Amino acid sequence: METRHLLRPLSSLSSSTTTTATASAMSSSTSPFTRSIVAAATGRRHQSTTSRTKKMLKIPPHPDFLTPREGESHIIYNPPSAAPSVYHTPFKFLPKTDPRRQANLTQLIRSSADLSGPSANANNLPPPSTKREGAPKMYNVTREQVDEMRTLRAEDPAKWSVQKLAERYKCSHLFIMMCCKAGPEHKAQERERLEAIKARWGPIRSGAREERKKRKALLFKGAI
């Protein structure tokens, strides 16, 4: 019986409310007002059963999610690419004796071309993730400069902070911290300042910090 209702066209559904012939003649020339009323009523009726709801929800996917025609550019890949398995050893990691290395001649020729020097197809590679990534290391700080930064840091660690020294000698913060240490009283002062800042944190911020630590641990375990 339900299928019969479904198969019945909308016009007959609207006419079913009126039984007489005159009424059906009226409905054939309905005003926009009555049509909207009928549509609203039928719309409500469509959600009254599962099959009607399913039928209403059966809409075609957005064209972005369909497989594009040949030669068309698209930004959504369907299906999306999966993360590569770690059990698939990259060509470069295969040992010299592995038969897969000899079998893959194209890769062999490519990698031997790489070893000869910076190859021409380096431009085809994706960009480095940060600006400093892959940049050659600068060994620009001399021994005298290291001695100088040590004396500066020793005489006034508040003025010559790690950031200031890094700016002055154009090296990384890590290098400054490797070279010179602040005195114990400066360390204690900094620690006190940090503790005071942490004491001002509310539950949300301190909880977020804890979460961040947990996420970091999960990251190194490869769990996320």
List residues near other proteins by CB under 8 A: 83-84, 86-95, 97-98, 110-111, 114-115, 119, 121-122, 125-130, 133-134, 219-222, 224
Q: How far is the CB of 103 from other proteins (least distance, A)?
A: 12
| CA terminus-to-terminus distance, the chain | 52
Contact 179, 168 (CB under 8 A): no
Quick one: 9 or 117, whose CB is closer to other proteins? Answer: 117
Q: How far is the CB of 128 from other proteins (least distance, A)?
A: 6
Quick one: 9 or 222, whose CB is closer to other proteins? Answer: 222
Burial track 76-86 (b if 16+ CB lie within 10 A, e otherwise): eeeeeeeeeee
User: DSSP secondary-structure letter at 121?
Assistant: G
Quick one: 94 or 146, whose CB is closer to other proteins? Answer: 94
Quick one: 187 or 213, whose CB is closer to other proteins? Answer: 213
Tokens of residue 58, six digits: 């059966």
CA distance 161 to 173: 10
Q: Nearest 10 degrees: CA dihedral of 11, 15, 17, 20?
A: 180
Residues 6 or more apart whose Cβ sits within 8 Å of residue 53:
46, 47
Q: How far is the CB of 36 from other proteins (least distance, A)?
A: 40
Quick one: 43 or 128, whose CB is closer to other proteins? Answer: 128
Q: How far is the CB of 184 from other proteins (least distance, A)?
A: 28
Q: Where is 117: in which H helix or E strand?
A: none
Q: How far is the CB of 131 from other proteins (least distance, A)?
A: 11
Tokens of residue 101, six digits: 């290395």
